[in-house]
Structure 1
Amino acid sequence: MKQDTLGWRAKFGVLGPSTNTIVQPDFEGMRPRGVTNHYSRIFTPNAKAVSNEASRAGTEVIAGNTLDAVRSIMTCEPHYLVMGMSAVTFFDGRKGADRFVRMVEDEAGVRVSVGSHACAAALEAYGGIRRIAILTPYWPAINAEVRRYFGEMGFEVVRDVALECRSWIAIAEVTTETLRDTLKRLDGDDVDAIVQVGTNLSMVRLAAAAEMWLGKPVIAINTATYWHALRANSIIDQMDGFGRLLADF
């Protein structure tokens, strides 16, 4: 069988909101030799998420436009899909996540890694984690969906922070200082690990650093999702700079 000249190990089709500016460079930074990422943007107006209701409605628009992006990316015949958005993959708990995966895979004819299941798999990979804290750019109504999902997956959410970003683009504008301070607020002896959700937050490098000064797993969703996609394709390359998940597991 003929192989792609650059993607001779795997061609990944990456799907993310058109407003997202973080996923693409994050995934490129974690890409091993012989793997290529091919980005398909899910049409997403830069919704002004000024309330729980507006935030949820904006997220539903992204979900509704997903399959158009799937059909577009499949024209380059990727081996696997990587979902570069997270909120809708947590909706309606574990069954909702499974339903979303089936919808995408039925349309694409290939498998997909999604943020919710990837984060749960990452927590299991570390081992011994049951109590977690959660950081998101969302509003409380969406955080409730994230808490529900992790609860159904067997984890206790001790506390969470919703940064209540006012638009999709504003998520990428959250500063390292704000994120660092929020991690410190979330940490405590009652927490085994911290999970960051929201693919347009720039957290992959900060999470890796935070693992060292907090002394516990800090999982950035973009790291977890790309790690999950690599391992699902038997690509076991380990790399430094992105935390223990990619370095050790």
Structure 2
Amino acid sequence: MGDVLGWRCKFGVMGPSTNTVVQPDYDMMRPAGVTNHYSRIYTPNADAISNETFLAGARLIGNNTLDAVKSVMTCKPDHLVMGMSAVTFFDGAKGADAFVKQVEDVSGLKISVGSHSCTAAMNAYGGVKNISIMSPYWPAMNEQVARYFTDMGFTVKKDIAMHCPSWTGIAEVTPKQCVDAIKAIDGDDVDAIVQVGTNLSMVKLAVMAEMWLGKPVIAINTATYWHALRTMGIQDKVAGCGPLLERF
């Protein structure tokens, strides 16, 4: 007999200990019979006051990820989900693949990560070539994100880094700030807007933005959880969280 609550699938989710958005976001998108089991990646809430300190902090999270993987494996999950996006963009497509391989080698399970999930989401929509990127990061991290998407065959037209001063500060970004960022990077030459940074609350706002812009607005938490569900063969349509979970 399987798990009485996670009888369809148990997800092991790794997220920074400072992240307060990804857990409620994933739980909001969880179908019946699927359960999410969180393992915190130890993350000091260091102040990000420069490109250098942001990158150093993000790499520290990456270095601590495997401990969280080993911890969550004790509940015998069926699939892993990475609830932190920055480390999945480092060093372009090769870096993303290397990170996935490292986790999968340790766990023996497949993992859904933000970078590849956003690529899969844009491919599901179809016709997406030119994109803009918004993030709570600093510009040096945006360069890593742009490098990854360029490696994957997309052209990055515009980007905006919101210069959040701390890891917990990302969750304090207001909807108005997000709307202003979307407007700043939109254009007739942009096929889709991609939001990265899992502690930035964008699931519901992305749905509304997609309606008013008439083009895909992909929130990374939506893309990653959608990818995890579909990878496990779970095709449930989840209302209210956008076309990825309602149509694809």
TM-score range for the pair, normalised by the shorter chain length:
over 0.9
Structure 2 residue aligned with 1:67: 66
For residues 137-186 of structure 1, the C-alpha deviation after alignment (integer angstroms, 9 at most, x for no partner) is 00011000000000000000000000010000000000001001111111
Distance 1:209 1:37 in 2: 26
How much has 1:219 moved relative to structure 2?
A: 0.1
1:135 aligns with 2:134: yes
- Flag structure 2 segments of 5+ consecutive residues without an equivalent: none
Aligned residues: 248
Distance 2:133 2:44 in 1: 26
* Equivalent residue letter for 1:141: A
- Flag structure 1 segments of 5+ consecutive residues without an equivalent: none
Distance 2:241 2:210 in 1: 10
Structure 2 residue aligned with 1:57: 56
| 1:60 aligned counterpart, secondary structure | helix
Distance 1:98 1:187 in 2: 29
For residues 48-77 of structure 1, the C-alpha deviation after alignment (integer angstroms, 9 at most, x for no partner) is 000000000000110110010001000000
Structure 1 residue aligned with 2:187: 188
Q: TM-score, normalised by structure 2?
A: 0.99
Distance 2:239 2:186 in 1: 24
Structure 1 residue aligned with 2:204: 205
| Aligned residue runs from structure 1 range 7-156, under 5 A | 7-156=6-155
Distance 2:72 2:201 in 1: 24
Distance 2:80 2:117 in 1: 13
Distance 1:80 1:243 in 2: 23
Misfit runs of 4+, over 3 Å: none
* Equivalent residue letter for 1:244: P
| 2:38 aligned counterpart, secondary structure | strand
Structure 1 residue aligned with 2:235: 236
Distance 1:242 1:131 in 2: 23
How much has 1:239 moved relative to structure 2?
A: 1.6
* Equivalent residue letter for 2:155: E
| 2:172 aligned counterpart, secondary structure | coil
How much has 1:247 moved relative to structure 2?
A: 0.7
Distance 1:142 1:188 in 2: 23
Q: TM-score, normalised by structure 1?
A: 0.99
Distance 2:170 2:136 in 1: 6
